[in-house]
Amino acid sequence: MKRIVTVQDISCVGRCSLTVALPIISAMGVETSVLPTAVLSGHTLFPHPAFCDLTGEIPAITAHWREIGVAFDGIYTGYLGSLRQLALISDFIDEFRGDGFVFIDPVMGDHGRLYSRFTDAFVSQMKHFCGKGDVIVPNLTEACLLLDVPYPGEHYTREQIRDLLRGLTSLGAKKAILTGVSFAPDELGAVAYDSENGQFFSRFGHRENGSFHGTGDIFASVCVGALAGGHPLGDAVGLAVDFTCECIRRTADSGRDKAFGVNFEAALPSLIAAASAQNHE
């Protein structure tokens, strides 16, 4: 069984980051270790969450891992809480990447705006950090921040998306996946680019009205589970778009409070079936 480590926060309420990565990647048959970056009472779209920064704990955790000789087949980073944390996790990647893959979700913002707590200095350091990745998975907002180009809103062409993806791989990672892409009002999906062979992949599903929090983390977690399980990039993106859209549809149908994230739990059996139907291991 493959073992990955995911580096992101615990948001105690409001499904996102570790509370979705851990169940999803585990359900896909991949041992999932965690390096928590912070504990928040809830994600930062709730007003005034309590925030406990765990940056100071990271050196002791990694020292212990060094002592016991733990190794990972993949490293998946998500929400990182501070500039110092970016530097520490960058060193962590250098030390622990081995022959494994490095998957970076440069979590910083959405809908054209930075999340609270993030600064321009964090954005510029994240550009360098992305160079450590084999795969990076920004949404459109994060891609524009990383490339210093204006956020295009809802209207853009296929060629603009391809240019963004080429630009993203020029930051250093050979593969990039852009999430939250839509070329028609009733569709939503992702486009991926592999700069090693010049191939693009895209997958779209049905778009529900409104915005659904935590779906970037759901998407990224499925990609990580699929890549660790030996699926090629295009299959990983297909599984991730289909699953994310199913979670969104279930949540929209239920009419429940979207602040608490999407209903991924009920969709897990279909993910397990889809992932094992195409299992490459």
Chain positions contacting ligand PXL, by CB under 6 A: 9, 11, 16-17, 40, 43-45, 79, 107, 115, 214, 216-217
In angstroms, give the least distance from the CB of 21 to ligand PXL.
10
Nearest to 104 by CA among 151, 71, 143, 69: 143
Which is nearer to ligand PXL, 43 or 203 (by Cβ)? 43
The number of helices, as runs of H, and strands, as runs of E, in the chain is: 9, 11
The nearest distance, CB 5 to ligand PXL, in angstroms, is 17
Which of 156, 279, 175 is closest to 229 using CA atoms?
A: 279
Q: How far is the CB of 79 from ligand PXL (least distance, A)?
A: 4
First-to-last alpha carbon distance for the chain, in angstroms, is 10
Give the list of residues 6+ apart from residue 230 with CB closer than 8 angstroms, or none.
Answer: 279, 280, 281
Q: Smallest gap, in angstroms, from Cβ of residue 10 to ligand PXL?
A: 9
Q: 90, exposed or middle or buried, with CB in 10 Å at 0-12, 13-18, 19+? A: middle
Q: What are phi and psi of 25, to 5 degrees?
A: -70, -40
* Cβ 251 to ligand PXL shortest distance, Å: 15
CB of 123 to ligand PXL, least distance (A): 15
Q: How many Cα atoms occupy the beta-carbon half-sphere of 238 within 13 Å? A: 10
Closest residue to ligand PXL, judged by C-beta, is 44
The tokens describing 242, both together, are: 């289909």
Outline where 50-82 has alpha helix (H). 58-68
Which residue number, 43 or 249, has a Cβ lying nearer to ligand PXL?
A: 43
The CA distance from 244 to 219, in Å, is 6
* Of residues 138 and 238, the one with the C-beta less far from ligand PXL: 138
Closer residue to ligand PXL (CB): 178 or 229: 178
The least CB distance from residue 117 to ligand PXL, in Å, is 8
How near is the Cβ of 176 to ligand PXL at its closest, in Å? 18
Measured from the CB atom, the residue of 6 and 11 that comes closer to ligand PXL is 11
Closer CB to ligand PXL, residue 144 or residue 194? 144
Question: Which residue, 40 or 104, has its beta carbon nearer to ligand PXL?
Answer: 40
Q: How far apart are CA 225 and CA 217, in angstroms?
A: 12
Of 48, 19, 16, 8, the C-alpha closest to 261 is 16
Q: Between residues 81 and 229, which has the closer beta carbon with respect to ligand PXL?
A: 81
Distance CA 80, CA 37 (A): 6
